[in-house]
Amino acid sequence: MKTIKRILLVLLVALIGIQFIRIDKTNPDSDPAKDFIHLEQPPDEIARLLKVACYDCHSHHTIYPWYTNIAPFSFWIKDHINHARSHLNFSEWADYDRGRKHHKLEECYEEVEEGHMPLPSYLWLHDEAKMSDQQIGNMVSWFRDQMSKYE
Ligand code: HEC
């Protein structure tokens, strides 16, 4: 019993201690002229969905809700954002060459169709990012149509 109490106390102190490690929430500068939605001009409904379901991770327009202040949850979220931006950054779309654009659009189409994106864990706390089958279908076919621009 004593050992368990001691372990719990150590964990509690560690949990409090890590609260002092803050994640960097400054959004990097971005040029609106390089933005994916600005350049690809999706229909309004798809643009809206991209903003609420993808841009928190895949752009420089991340919104950090209150719970992103809580460690270690905050570390986990920041790690997702860093990874997501390094794979696909909608704020830097203009810098991608033709081949890369084509490839990323293809991946978008596949990831959304298979239900891998938005990340399922993101949907726990983001109701607005949940898409109906019809919304998924519309987004997927728009991505696919867009690919032909970069063939
Ligand atoms: C909660 C954060 C988050 C959200 C929201 C999110 N993604 Fe991702 N996405 C990631 C992460 C992290 C990766 C990196 C691959 C991995 O670790 O699975 C990724 C990878 C991808 C990839 C693969 C890119 C590559 O080069 O491999 C595509 C495409 C993608 N996401 C598209 C989307 C689209 C489209 C949306 C919105 C419908 C979206 N994502 C929403 C976090 C997110």
Ligand 1 pocket: which residues have CB below 6 Å? 53-54, 56-58, 80, 83-84, 87-88, 107-108, 111-112, 117-119, 122
CA of 71 to the centre of ligand 1 (A): 22
Sorting pLDDT into bands at 50, 70 and 90, what band is 68? Answer: very high
Please state, rounded to an integer, the average pLDDT across all residues of the chain. 97
Q: Which of 96, 117, 122, 143 has most ligand 1 atoms within 8 Å of CB, for mutation?
A: 117
For ligand 1, what atom is nearest to the CA of residue 131? 38
Cβ atoms of residues 54 and 63 within 8 Å? no
Predicted pLDDT at 109: 97
For residue 1, pLDDT over 80 is answered with no
Distance 86 CA to ligand 1 centre (A): 10
What pLDDT is stored for residue 65 in this prediction? 95
CA distances from 82 to 47, 55, 79, 89, 119 (A): 22, 12, 5, 10, 14
Per-residue pLDDT, averaged over 52-68, amounts to 97
Predicted confidence band at 140 (pLDDT cuts at 50, 70, 90)?
very high
> Is a pLDDT exceeding 90 seen at residue 73?
yes
pLDDT level of residue 29 (50, 70, 90 thresholds): very high
Q: What is the pLDDT of residue 33?
A: 98
At residue 81, the pLDDT reads: 98
Tell me how far apart the 2 most distant CA atoms of the chain are, in Å: 67
CA of 5 to the centre of ligand 1 (A): 41
